[in-house]
């Protein structure tokens, strides 16, 4: 049975979409059949991070409403075997969506994939609730910014209220020099958010460059943070991978 993992943050722009694209690609590269879903209706952009803008014709609402079968709705990533993608609608998710239909879509996904990563919208609105009430695990993304950490702490509470017990923290855009200057450590961030660490992802200019080259980060030729995403993906699968010493410039 596959595992559904919701990826969320309290504040927008902390790196959810980047993380969903990179972690899904890494899980696929590790040999797991992986689906990533853009749950950020209206603001969808996971297709960009996957280099799959021209692929998505159907979206998850087509599946939830019964218009299209799951197996006909997702697209296979052209350059990453084992990776598939299901888009979000360009219009808001209607308020009267049947939660049972969403649940049944995720149950079907569990029988067809090893992992499903859900790019949840920022904040704790309806998209967040649908993603988390169906997830087996959640990953909370924060940066070292106070606003992001405070939002992450609030979101962690909402995740636990939605029934998530397996909750892990990914700290993104880590710049060791900045942390030293404001006398903050990774432990301070973990304490402030109150969630166990999954991994650290450095500030990496290649995230931007890969996005603009329409290439998934893990396939980009200069791929710094891709190694850290790979470590985090391995931890998701249960491997014990120690945290790397920081090899990045400050
Ligand atoms: P969210 O989905 O949470 O709104 P995104 O993944 O879209 O956030 O990231 C917001 C912006 O930050 C994007 O421009 C992305 O390229 C950039 N970004 C994300 N993670 C990193 C990183 N580790 N290093 C550098 N830039 C990053
Ligand atoms: Mg996003």
> Per-residue pLDDT tens for 22-65?
999 999 999 999 999 999 988 889 999 999 988 878 999 999 99
Q: How far apart are CA 135 and CA 227, in angstroms?
A: 26
**Can you give the pLDDT at residue 249?**
39
> Where are the domains positioned within the chain?
3-236
The closest ligand to the CA of 174 turns out to be 1
pLDDT of residue 180: 74
Cα 188 off chain centre by = 23
pTM of the model: 0.95
Cα(179) to ligand 1 centroid in Å equals 19
Segments in the chain below pLDDT 50: 247-250
In sequence order, what are the beta bridge partners of 199? 170
Residue with tokens 């200057």: 181
The b/e string for 202-237 (b: 16+ C-beta within 10 A; e otherwise) is bbbebbeebbeeebbbbbbeebbbbebbbbbbbbbe
**Can you give the pLDDT at residue 125?**
81
3-236 CATH pick, 3.40.50.261, 3.40.50.300, 3.40.920.10, 3.90.550.10: 3.40.50.300
At which residue do the structure tokens 């972690």 appear? 23
State residue 140's pLDDT score: 97
Residue having the nearest C-alpha atom to atom 11 of ligand 1: 13
Indicate which atom in ligand 1 lies nearest the CA of residue 20: 6
Dihedral of CA atoms 21, 24, 27, 32 in degrees, nearest 10, equals -150
Give residue 208 CA to ligand 2 midpoint distance, Å: 14
For residue 18, the CA-to-ligand 2 centroid distance in Å is: 7
Residue 216: the pLDDT is 93
């Amino acid at each position: 049975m596959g595992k559904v993992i919701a990826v969320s943050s309290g504040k927008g722009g902390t790196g959810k979409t980047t993380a969903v694209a990179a972690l899904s690609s890494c899980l696929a590269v590790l040999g797991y059949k992986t689906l990533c879903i853009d749950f950020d209706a209206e603001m969808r952009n996971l297709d960009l991070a996957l280099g799959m803008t021209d692929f998505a014709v159907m979206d998850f609402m087509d599946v939830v409403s019964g218009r299209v079968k799951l197996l006909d709705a997702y697209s296979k990533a052209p350059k990453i075997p084992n990776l598939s993608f299901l888009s979000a609608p360009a219009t808001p998710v209607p308020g009267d969506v049947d939660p049972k239909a969403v649940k049944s879509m995720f149950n079907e996904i569990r029988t067809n994939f090893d992992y499903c990563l859900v790019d949840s919208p920022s904040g704790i609105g309806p998209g967040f609730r649908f993603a988390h009430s169906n997830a087996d695990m959640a990953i909370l993304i924060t940066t070292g910014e106070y606003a992001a950490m405070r939002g992450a702490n609030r979101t962690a509470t909402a995740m636990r209220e939605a029934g998530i017990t397996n909750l892990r923290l990914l700290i993104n855009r880590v710049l060791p020099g900045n942390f030293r200057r404001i006398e903050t450590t990774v432990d301070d961030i973990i304490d402030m958010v109150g969630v166990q660490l999954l991994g650290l992802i450095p500030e990496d200019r290649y995230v931007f460059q890969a996005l603009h080259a329409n290439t998934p980060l893990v396939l980009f030729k200069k791929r710094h943070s891709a190694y850290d995403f790979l470590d985090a993906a391995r931890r998701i699968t249960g491997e014990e991978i120690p945290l790397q010493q920081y090899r990045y410039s400050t």
